[in-house]
Structure 1
Amino acid sequence: MNSLEYEQFYDKVGKANGWDFSKLKVVAEGVKWDFYEKVVELCKPTDLLLDVGTGGGEALLSIADCARLLVGIDLSESMVETATSNLAASNKSNVRFIRMDAGKLMFPGNFFDMVSCRHSGFNAQEVARVLTDEGVFLTQQVSESDKLNLKEAFGRGQAQGTEEGTLHNRYRTELREAGFTDILSYEYDATEYYRTPEDLIFLLKHTPIVPYFGQTDADFQILRQFVEDNRMEKGIRTNSKRFMLIAKK
């Protein structure tokens, strides 16, 4: 999918359920960290935190007590509407959600102590500009080999055909060019087990893992065969491959 198609896709997801996958029945083995737990670990109570690509805001609201002010931005209007609705129900007074393009952050320089970004694009130069001199940037991204057996089964998928490590190397380079001198990187490749085919269908319909999933009957035929081939005692097996970068100016 191109950038416009991704934007339209996320708008659709935002109207449907935000970015909340808490009801999915899935277990994972080999996960080495929880991204927002890492954010909390590095955040100080006096910090101002910016979350890029915040989606429905569920994750940011869950860590609202870790900072003085938390601002979540997303390009999708419907995502921001969902996040704003979630904020109203949360009674949190130190969180704000704004529709904004990550490529052009409408904030003054040296404003935030920390910037986080999970599974969303970012502009390294803009992140460096809005961070304080001692600021920290954390991002978790989806590796090219994520959900590999699913993408192979369908013959299409997010980043399929792109060499493993391409995005990781690109972001490291962009962060160095933006002035970050201390960059740490981590990665894991966990095994996931989805309890039912319905859980897997929810995942595929609400993420761009397999673009345009479900628009033809053939997709469901492929999925049935995939479930048959990958059903284990713990559930339907696939993988979750992630990398994380922690950068300081």
Structure 2
Amino acid sequence: MKDLLFEDQIKDIEKHFSGWDFSYITESGRMDNGMLNWSYGSIVIPYIRNAKSMLDMGTGGGELLTKFQPLPSVTCATEGYAPNLPIAKQLLEPLGVAVKEVKEDNLLPFGDGAFDLIINKHEEYSPGEVRRVLTSDGIFVTQQVGGIDCVRINEALGAPVNEEFLHWNLEYASDGLRREGFEVFDCKEEQPYQRFYDIGALVYYLKAIPWQVPDFSIERYKDSLYSIHETIQSEGFFEVKTNRFVMKAKLQKDY
């Protein structure tokens, strides 16, 4: 029989999650991330201050973009996850940000050369489409989640790893940008830890990012979850490696 602590904590899968706000488990100290040797915010803010027009790709609920104020006079944001759209619009439109739904990243609803800055945190993108909507002297800044991100979760659960994205890393992504005529610079890639200090934090996280284990449910993975729970009880936490990389890119002058 599963212990009462386990049964109580896995009920956290029922807790409400909206936008891209993990504060329920991060601010309470139930999940923690190792530090990167860069700050996405510190990288993009100087560019934002000097931009006249900017696009934020994959804005989530808009929470992060609000922290980058003041924003350029022309600022747009895209979001492809339907539940986030009304949240982002409610938060960003009063700030003058136009929020657009985008279902296909190679079909951005903007004209050619519309932005002199495009920022992108953890959102898919088409290098050719980024090139199309960027001005000739514009800058593209992106932080991406690599294809081996948190695969230990899948391994510990006995769940399939999505092999479709295992190739997605700094080398592959930068090569794709170069093929579209970009000069790629200031690149870094790291694998900091991510720790879960109770099983409830893990199930809450998996509910928030359903692409990690697409068929996840408590019932399907209950025995494996209990094994992870026992690891946490004996070691204090369940640790996995994340995968992040960051790049800046601008169009080559002779392209």
TM-score tier (shorter): 0.7 to 0.9
Work out the CA distance in 2 between the residues paired with 1:152 and 1:130. 40
Partner of 1:156: 159
Equivalent residue runs for 1:39-118 within 5 Å: 39-87=44-92, 92-100=94-102, 101-118=104-121
Worse-matched range after superposition: 49-58 or 21-30: 21-30
Structure 2 CA distance for partners of 1:47 and 1:224, relative to 1, 3 Å: farther
- Residue type at the aligned position of 1:62: K
Contact residue 113 and residue 132 of structure 2 kept, 8 A: yes
Worse-matched range after superposition: 16-25 or 197-206: 16-25
Structure 2 CA distance for partners of 1:247 and 1:56, relative to 1, 3 Å: same
TM-score of the superposed pair, with normalisation by structure 1: 0.81
Work out the CA distance in 2 between the residues paired with 1:179 and 1:241. 26
CA RMSD after TM alignment: 2.5
Structure 2 CA distance for partners of 1:144 and 1:95, relative to 1, 3 Å: same
Structure 1 position 200, deviation (Å): 1.1
Structure 2 CA distance for partners of 1:201 and 1:71, relative to 1, 3 Å: same
Does residue 124 (structure 1) correspond to residue 127 (structure 2)? The answer is yes
Q: Unmatched 5+ residue regions in structure 1? A: 1-14
Structure 1 position 169, deviation (Å): 3.4
Identity score, percent: 25
Does residue 38 (structure 1) correspond to residue 43 (structure 2)? The answer is yes
Contact residue 49 and residue 70 of structure 2 kept, 8 A: no
Partner of 2:11: none
Work out the CA distance in 1 between the residues paired with 2:41 and 2:32. 18
Structure 1 position 108, deviation (Å): 1.7
Structure 1 position 141, deviation (Å): 1.5
Structure 1 position 80, deviation (Å): 1.3
Contact residue 104 and residue 126 of structure 1 kept, 8 A: yes
Contact residue 74 and residue 98 of structure 1 kept, 8 A: yes
- Residue type at the aligned position of 1:28: N
TM-score of the superposed pair, with normalisation by structure 2: 0.79
Structure 1 position 162, deviation (Å): 5.8
Structure 2 CA distance for partners of 1:141 and 1:158, relative to 1, 3 Å: farther
2:182 to 162, 166, 180: 180
Structure 1 position 219, deviation (Å): 1.0
2:224 to 201, 222, 225: 222
Structure 1 position 66, deviation (Å): 4.4
Structure 1 position 77, deviation (Å): 3.2
Work out the CA distance in 1 between the residues paired with 2:51 and 2:208. 35
Partner of 1:206: 208
Structure 1 position 199, deviation (Å): 1.4
**Residues paired across the two proteins, number:** 230
- Residue type at the aligned position of 1:212: D
Structure 1 position 152, deviation (Å): 1.0
Work out the CA distance in 1 between the residues paired with 2:222 and 2:108. 41
Partner of 2:146: 143
Partner of 1:21: 22
Helix, strand or coil at the partner of 1:23:
helix
Cα-to-partner distance string for 1:153-191 (whole Å, 9 max, x where unaligned) = 12335534865x544333222211211023342111111
Cα-to-partner distance string for 1:17-65 (whole Å, 9 max, x where unaligned) = 1222232222222422232332113322443111112221111122131
Work out the CA distance in 2 between the residues paired with 1:34 and 1:227. 32
Contact residue 52 and residue 102 of structure 1 kept, 8 A: no
Helix, strand or coil at the partner of 1:50:
strand
Work out the CA distance in 2 between the residues paired with 1:80 and 1:54. 9
- Residue type at the aligned position of 2:70: D
Contact residue 170 and residue 188 of structure 2 kept, 8 A: no
Work out the CA distance in 1 between the residues paired with 2:46 and 2:235. 35
